[in-house]
Structure 1
């Protein structure tokens, strides 16, 4: 047995050496070494050690690195960036705030890894940790379903505390949560991730910011829409002798949204245009949102009504009215009515010249309302007239009517009409004359005649 191992030992060792050489040649011939590069992110570990000092860190350099990997070609071709893990332990920072980066291959140990490029260490900047409270703004993304409108979107909570590096906190101008409303047709709740933005609207990603609530709940109200008309009306009166001729404006309708019950009650928005004391045309741009009922929203925000009101000087015209032109309305079948004064009355019309030029007495239809005349006597009335849009009819002359009992005897007017509220006419009478002894004696022979004369002077009937 011993002879088997010792005989021709040189030849045997040489054979082994040749076999090893041949194996190496085969390996390197059929599976040679190869290299490749990957860019990977660096995971920071033990960050709590910095937070415990009341500090936060911001990575200056080294959060991503490029590595060169050397291994057999058969292994290299199956490797990818996710097979490597890089870590930097910030609890072991150098005096210059650098930390070593360690890289390992999670797929194989037979890999040679080298960090290349300028970032071979993780460099951080430390700053004081501060906190500050901010209101949360909801930003809507997308569009609601056709025929619907997204109204209020309220974050809960609407105040949030942000912690982080002092410099980053000082840059925060707003904290926003994005709510996806695309295709919404009813109210809903959603959660969103809060983000901080500077005054230019850029997201702040530095300073290791953290939020007291993350995610944030958002309640979104969705309403049905409705198109309603816009009506611009003159408010006030132009200067004496002037009038509003017409008002032109745009738009004449708008799309609004709101609760179903509110929408069912509105069909228009009325917008006043101030013309008080004006003698020239009025042009104004009016924000429609100022006249919306609470709970109603404009689908197109900040709608402006551009209105122009034409102010013109009024023309005047006089008409003569005879008693025969005057209608006596609401007469009682208990009385007879007779005009005391039969002369003509002058009536003045004022309005646009084109409108009043063809108006006659029959158009203004003068009348007296007798509904509040309750007893016989003489009464003074100011005429009333039929309403004509844009035309003012005036007269200062009174008409006197004698009212007598249907039996033919005039009863004594007491001087007061307690129910005179519709016509506004005031009815007066003189005090009864003192009865003398002689009139008392002759009273029996004059039955049926009035013992006193009613004063024809009454108040004006407007």
Structure 2
């Protein structure tokens, strides 16, 4: 009883002593290891089970950077000193996706401190935009930019690794895509090249769509650009065949267009001076008027050479060839006696064209050819011996006879009918007297 009494002696002082000791301990702790806070910024939120959306044909996008969180940790300083930013974890499990398209963020510290720490974040939800996934296939188009050097053209631009592109992503974005384009810059080129260029997506208004939410099956495309040299050359043509009776070709053959620009390797173009349309392509047989043919000249180009003119220029490779055919006309020219020469005149005879009986030659030809024939350019011959043979004569007799005149004229015209001249035939008196004198001298 005495011991118990001693225990409770001064009980109030003893309780005060205990409380004072606890307070003293707390003060000591707070002084030596106080509670503090540490802020860890830009902690990435690890997204878990995202396949739950993609497997359902959905796409998602984090809104307003809510997959980054600022974490505040409250603990004793001794604890905080052992916590690094890498120890702080934030996760969001898509299995907890709400109908408002938010996923709660779970915060933790990798070290085990139990109740010694308090952890909180500036946000508690990852906000998502969720919509159906769409997939489309597009044909890759090539946009040519710039122009080659002077004297060169682009003969072809094509993709060498396929022209199909598959894109996928949110329906709201994919549905806006109108074109998939690769840009081919040909500025100043003088030779063919191969390039690899990024594939760009554009909407119907020509605005580029650059969203990273659209996935492309390929991001670049290889492009082959073919460059050829050009040369302007004339187009020429000729004709064949004989027009109808009474008509003739003037020899004039025109082509429209009469010059074209071709493209090819420089070694081939160096030997190419013109496009020649062969005469068999323009047949004048039986023609009574101009013959017009529409001829595709591409078949007359050498291998490896093509026309640079396009339908955009109003030219499709066909040239209009016109061969001029005109009616023949007749004209008469007078031969003066001095223009007619006698051949093979038998000895002892004299022949002369009767000056009072004009000799005319009738010529036929094109108007311009006839106009070019002057009478002074004509000449004629009479073969007396041939005339005698035709008429069965062995000797001449004096008198006036008609003999045929062979007329020489330009080959641009022809003779119509036979030309005859009135010829005076006389014995050569001087020749007879000379022979008689020689005979008398011999007798003496």
User: Could you state the TM-score of these two structures normalised by the residue count of structure 1?
Assistant: 0.43
Between structure 1 and structure 2, the one with the greater Rg is 2
Which protein is richer in helix relative to its size? 2
